[in-house]
Every structure is written in structure tokens, then in C-alpha cells.
A and B are shown apart, each in its own frame.
Chain A
Amino acid sequence: MQFSEAFIQTLTWLIPLPPLLAFALIVLVTNRSKTLSHVTAIGLMGLSWVMSWIVFYYTLSIEHFGEHVIAAAVDWLPFGSAAMGTQPLQMGVLVDPLTSVMLFFVSLTCLLIFIYSVGYSNYGKPRDDHDRPGTPPHGVEPLYSRFFAYLSLFAFGMLLLVVADNLLLMFVGWEIMGLCSYLLIGFWHARNYPDPKQITPRQAAVKAFMTTRVGDMFMLLGIAYLYSQAQTLSFREILRSDEMLTHLATTPSVVAGLMVSHVVGLLLFAGTIGKSAQFPLHVWLPDAMEGPTPVSAMIHAATMVSAGVYAMIRMFPLLSAGWRPGDPLTPPMLAMAVVGAFTALFSATIAVAQSDVKKVLAYSTISQLGFMIAALGIGGYIAAAFHLVTHAFFKALLFLGSGAVIHGVEHGHHHAEQLAHTGGHAAHAPAAPFDPQNMFNMGGLARRMPITYWTFVIGGLALSGFPFVTSGFWSKDEILADAWVHAPVVFVVLAVAALLTAFYTMRQISLTFLGEPRSAAAEHASENDSIFRPMLLALVVLAFFAITAGWVGILEDFLGLRMPFPNWFHGYVGGVLLEHPPALEFNPVPLAASLVVSLGGLLFGWWVYRGYRKGADDPLAGPLGAMYAVLRDKYYFDELYERLFVRPAVWLSETFASEWVDKGVIDGTLHLVGRGALRLGRIFRDYFDAPVVNGSGDLVGESVKRFGRSFRVIQTGRVQQYLLVGMAIVVVLGAVLLLPGLGQ
């Protein structure tokens, strides 16, 4: 198939729009019909997917695509002119290798998650009496149409961010996603827990929104500062111009000792810290698991958190302006390397001690994002982009798999309850609220849910970097290889994090799927219901990509073999940079390290949890001792932030601002002014208004009224009387006019 370039440009403009249309259609038109709503959302998302893949396919045939990108722009606001030395602000779309890779996986994962959501929301089941809007469904989701509307709006934001050709438009998409994330995390806004300390979806939504807002604020500052210095926000103009980058890297900034590019880079990185949940703004992501599982998969694994990393990859030339491989790292890169590596290790340790199946994945996501950020920080541009792609596939797979597990266990729970009732267990005490997300309640699901099991295992192996087959191995190996060459300290940290990753992944698989069922719910879990069909479809497709997505980036001289296919990913994405980064030499040390950590972690995890029995403590709790509680409680960061930020903020608003400033100072002043004005007004009223103005006014009014009252009796409303009077006047007038003529 051949496409013209103009056609591809138009297509690029159109890619984000179908989901927006779907949002509008669902909200305005189809929201009454569940079927129509999901058909609209999936159909239009599918259209976006087809267009994205056409664009991707087209770019494969372009030689030196990095230089010959697909770009189109229109003047947005006409401010700025040649005379002022500035250009009008332009809005446009850009497809370069990075964008096209993003389009490839974003559109696909979005589409699959849409399809998955049909099953996840129990579409096709009868309505349950317990179903109330804003709570998780027993029967079918009451706010089904709204859910798809939000998902569509979210997909629009992500696609807009990906195709944007400038920072401002990208930021627009970024914020749309922030809003959707808020709406979707709080989707079950009416849900409450018996334990008051457990965070509710409503609180989690606010928390996520506020936390990311901190990062976004810095990012906006960075964008503004960049615009004031560069007079443009276009990616091409800033990132592919040596002159511009040198200018930015050598102009001293407002902060002593730092260049403009450093300050901008640090500010933008702050945005990413918020969006991609890096330390210290990581606290929102685990709580965001309160949202429905497709949302967790979409927003908090495959797309939105990747957007933060994507922004960093996109802005990498600016972040590394003035840096050559081998030089000391620039301040933004240093910050990224430190924060990324620390986050990777830090959250991997937390994940080890979590019991909620989704929380483990949430911390693992933070950890993997830390891998990418750290890779970027040490200059591993391509490794970061590569891991971004593979991670999106296997993490979406894991999240969706965990959703299927939760559904299956809930199913089993209902089934077991029904059995208990019909089985005549009269003394069946009201059981403690069952937590279908707790891994310690599962076990043995491999036999009950085989497809879910196998896809989950594929995702888990990819996450832990199981050698040679899974995509995660290749991308993680590349990161480790980069780190080995550029920054051995980072290499060590990341290797430990990878070991932990493999360990907690195996722990999760063992607890969930292996061994004997540890509850009645797990015993009766099943994936045979009709609602599982769309879910399993999404799982299988994602599992395919979780394996194969890694094969496009295998080093050419891997193990000294001549690979049958070249390292396509490196050549393709590397074209984005001004200078094509040199391909790494094959090095046995990082390979050995990654083999050891992944296989070792997996084996160790299997060994520790192989014999876990119902009711026993977590086998880790003994050896780790007090450390286990610290890890389980996430190093007490939530409590720390509560003390440090939330309570002071509440005190500031409730006591200081409300009680002292508002009620004391402002109200006091206002009351004083008010009292004075009142007194002045009373004087005016008594001595001027009442006697002079009212007196004369009343006089006029009263006299008109009196006049009217005396004459209104002649207005009887009887038409014949009026006519009679009229005729009498005619007769009289006629007499007056005619009588003088008599004499002649």
C-alpha cells in the first residue's frame, strides 16, 4: 500500500480526535444505552488505532526518518511578529520515530483496555439490587456509559500528547489526562470502607490530583521559562538545532551556577516526578489503585505514567545539552539518575511486603519507571525508550490479569456464599468483609483460571526479565548494559532492584496461582463466565506483545552471534537525536548480572513461597523482623506527608486563614467599614432623603393617583358605552362644524 505524505499528515491530525468524538457522543447522545456507548467508544478508539498503525507502517518505509519527519503546523495565536524577533505561536503535529513507536503501543493498549472494560464492568449481566452509582458493581456497572466516556477522553489526551509538536500542546494533553485520572480513580466515589484508615476512592482521587499538581506547577514554570528564553516551544526548533541547544546550555540562568537548559530541565523533570510517580511524589500511584482495574492498567501502567517518561525522552536533547558521552552528567541528568535509581530500588523493596495484588503491581510500576528515568539520566536514551515500550505491554498485561483474578475471586466468593446458604449452614455467622484483592486469600488459581494464569505468568516473567524470551529481558538488559558503561553505581542499584523485582513477581505468582486454595472464594473462582471473554481476549493479545516486543531491540553482536535481524529499534528511534548514539558493544558482565538477578530472584521467590499454607504469616516477616512492617507501611511516607504537608495546610486554611485572617482581620475591617457606612447612610436618610426627595416624589405620585382614582369610574370596560360617548362627540363636533354653514 502506498500513501501520499499529505494523506499521512492529515491522518496524524486526526488520530486524537475519534476518542474525543466518542466522549462527546456518549455524554450527549448515547449515554442511555450501554451497548451503544461501548460500541461508540471501542469503534472510534479502533479507528484511532487503525490510523496510528497506518502512520506507523508508513514511517517504516521512510529512509532516515529522523530527519524526514511528518510534521504539520498552523499558526495559533498571532501574537509575536518578525519585527519583534519572535514567531507566532504554532500548534501542530509531529511524527518522528519516537512518536510513531508511542503511537504503536499507546493506541493498541488503549483499544485492548477498552475491550477489556466491557467484560470488567460485567456488561451483559442483570442489574443487581445492590448496584448504586459510584460503587463497584455486583451486577452490571451503573455508570457504564460514563466510564467509557471518561476512558475515551483519556485516550484523547494521551494521543494528543503523543502527536503534539510542541511543549504547550503536550502540556494540554498532559493536563487532560490529569483530569481523567482524577475522575477515573474516584470513579467509585460513593465507596466507603469499614476501616476509616483505609483510603477511599474519593480521597485517593484528590490525593492523586493534588500530588501531580505539584509536579505540573513546576513543569508549567519550566515551559514558561523555556519560552521566554527560546521564543519557541516547538520540539523540532529546540531539540534539533545545535545552535539553540548550545545557546540554552551556555546562557546563565536566574539560578546561580546553572544554565538555562539546566533550570528548564530540572523544572520539567519535576513535572515527570509528579506524573510518573517518582520519589518523593510517588505516594499517589499506589492509592490510585482504588480506581477500577482497567483504569489502573491504562492510566497507571501503560499510558499516563509513561507520559512522564515520554516527556523526558522527548526533551532528552535539552536535558543533556552540552553533554557528550563520557562527560560529567548535566545537573538534570544527575537528578534523574539519582532519583530514578533510588525510586527503582526503594519501591521494589516496598512491593516485596505488599499483600494487595494491585498494590504490588503499583509499586512495581513505580520501580520500573525509575529504571527508565535512571537510564535516561545516565544517557541511555534508547534503552529508556525501549523499556518504556516493553513495560507498557507487560505491565498492562499484569494489571489486566490481576483484574481478571479479582473478578474471578469475587465470582468464587459469591458462588461460595450461595453454596453456604443453600447448603443449610444455618449458623453461618456474618463473615468478616472479604477482600478479593488480598493475595493471601488466593492460591491455587492456576487450575481454576488457566488462561489468566498463563498470560499472567508471561507478564510476570517479562517483568522480571526472564532471559532470551520475554521482552522485559531485552530492554532491562540494555538499561543495565548502559549503566555498566556509564555509571557503575547506578548499575549496582538497578541490579539489586531487578533482583527484588524478580523476587516479588514470583512471590505474587506463587501466592496467587500456585499451592492450594486458601479460601472458599479461591476454591470456586472461575473464568468461564461470559464476561471474561473480552477480558481474556485482551490478555492474550497483550501476552503476545509482552513476548515479541522485545525482539526488535536485540543487540546485533549479542553473545558474539550474528543476529539474523539487526537492532532495528536502535536504528529507528536513535534517529530522533541530532547525533545518532553509538550502539553499545556487547558486554558479558551486565548480561551475566541480569541473568543472575532475574533467575535468582525468581528461584528465590519460588523457594520462599513454595510451601506457604493458609493462615501462616508471610514467610518474609520472620527474617525481616521490624523491617517488614516498615516496608508494608511504605516507609511511612503517607504518614510523613500527612504531618508535613496535609496537617499544616489544613491548619493554615482552617485556623490561620479562616479563624485569624478571615474572621479576625478581614471581617473586622469589613465590619468597621460597614458600620461607618451604615451611620453615614442613616444621616442621609433622615436629613435629605426623607424630607426632600421622598416629599416631592410622593407629591407627584399622590396627585397622579388621586386624579386617576377619580377618573377611572368612566372606564367601565363596556364597549357600547365607549361607542356611545364617541358618537355623542361626533354629533356635537358635527353640529359645531355644520351650524355655522346654516346662515349662508
Chain B
Amino acid sequence: MVPLSWYLALAAALFCVGLYGVLARKNAVAILMSIELMLNAVNINLVAFWHYLTPQVPSGQMFTIIVLTVAAAEAAVGLALIISIYRRRSTVVAEEIDLMKW
């Protein structure tokens, strides 16, 4: 059988890939995609723990569903923000969106 640690390691790897994307990508849409990767990594963790440790209690799956909901909301609002910024400033480059500075 597959050990739990394999899943955890995979999740950690996926999370760090997503983190790199969030920190390094220029395009705001790409940053959003990276965030989705990170959320998926967390979901893998949650389901894996549920499967291996507490299969009788639905909490693990429940959290996954909540995360899914938040991810959907975040994607919708995030993309709306990006499109709105694009309309006003004609850019989606995260570095150029720096209104909130001194």
C-alpha cells in the first residue's frame, strides 16, 4: 500500500511549486493559477489524513469541500479584480500594479 508520507511529500512539493509561482510569476492570472495549485496541495493533505487516520468521521472531506468553495469564490473575485484593473490600467503585470505605495 502507499504510505501516508508519500502523499504528504507530494502535497508539500506541489505546495512549494505553487508558492514559487506566486512569488515569481509576472502575470496576475498566472499567480492566480499558482494559488489554485497550492490549494490543491492542501486538499491532498486533508483527504490523505482523512483516509489514513479518521475514515469514520467526515471532517476531512468536509474541510476539503469548504476549501473548494473558498477557492471558487477566490477565483471569481480574483479574476474580476484582474479584469477590472486591466480595464483601467491596461496591464495585468503584478509589479506594475503598485498604487498602494508611498
Contact = CB atoms under 8 A, between A and B. Distances in A.
Q: Do chains A and B touch in the complex (CB under 8 A)?
A: yes
B98 A718 contact: yes
B23 A720 contact: yes
Given A712-B102, A715-B101, A715-B102, A720 B95 contact: yes
A719 B99 contact: no
A720 B22 CA distance: 7
B99 A717 contact: yes
A613 to B, nearest CB: 89
A727 B24 CA distance: 13
B19 A727 contact: yes
Interface string A700-722: 00000000000010011111100
A682 to B, nearest CB: 39
B22 A717 contact: no
A719 B23 CA distance: 9
Interface in A381-437: none
A513 to B, nearest CB: 81
A94 B31 CA distance: 84
B62 interface: no
Nearest to A711: B102
A323 to B, nearest CB: 91
B23 A727 contact: yes
Max chain B C-beta neighbours (<10 A), residue from A715, A716, A717, A724: A717
Contacts of B99: 717
Given A723-B23, A724-B23, A727-B19, A718 B102 contact: no
Contact of A717 (B19, B23, B98): B98
B27 to A, nearest CB: 11
A255 to B, nearest CB: 82
Contacts of A718: 94-95, 97-98, 101
Nearest to B28: A719
Interface string A716-744: 11111001100100000000000000000
Contacts of A727: 19, 23
B101 A716 contact: yes
Contacts of B101: 715-718
B1 interface: no
B66 interface: no
Contacts of A716: 98, 101
Interface residues of A, number: 10
Nearest to B96: A718
Contacts of B24: 720
Contacts of B2: none
Interface in B47-102: 94-95, 97-102
Contacts of A715: 101-102
A352 B86 CA distance: 89
B45 to A, nearest CB: 17
Contacts of B102: 712, 715
Contacts of B94: 718-720
A723 B22 contact: yes
A727 B22 CA distance: 11
Nearest to B95: A718
A712 B95 CA distance: 17
A724 B99 CA distance: 19
A724 B20 CA distance: 10
A712 B19 CA distance: 26
Residue from B31, B98, B99 whose CB has the most chain A CB atoms within 10 Å: B98
Nearest to A726: B23
Nearest to B26: A720
Contacts of A724: 23
Contacts of A723: 22-23
B42 to A, nearest CB: 15
A273 to B, nearest CB: 76
A620 to B, nearest CB: 88
Contacts of A717: 97-101
A720 B97 CA distance: 11
A723 B18 CA distance: 13
Nearest to B24: A720
Contacts of B98: 716-718
A128 to B, nearest CB: 55
B81 to A, nearest CB: 12
A712 B94 CA distance: 20
A724 B94 CA distance: 14
B74 to A, nearest CB: 15
Nearest to A723: B23
Contacts of B95: 718, 720
B12 to A, nearest CB: 13
Contacts of B22: 720, 723
Nearest to B31: A720
Contacts of A719: 94, 97
B92 to A, nearest CB: 13
Interface in A262-304: none
Contacts of B19: 727
Interface of A: 712, 715-720, 723-724, 727
Interface of B: 19, 22-24, 31, 94-95, 97-102
25 contacts: A712-B102, A715-B101, A715-B102, A716-B101, A717-B97, A717-B98, A717-B99, A717-B100, A717-B101, A718-B94, A718-B95, A718-B97, A718-B101, A719-B94, A719-B97, A720-B22, A720-B23, A720-B24, A720-B94, A720-B95, A723-B22, A723-B23, A724-B23, A727-B19, A727-B23
Given A716-B98, A716-B101, A724-B23, 4 more contacts: A717-B101, A718-B101, A720-B23, A727-B23
Give 3 closest A-B pairs by Cβ, nearest first.
A717-B101, A717-B98, A712-B102
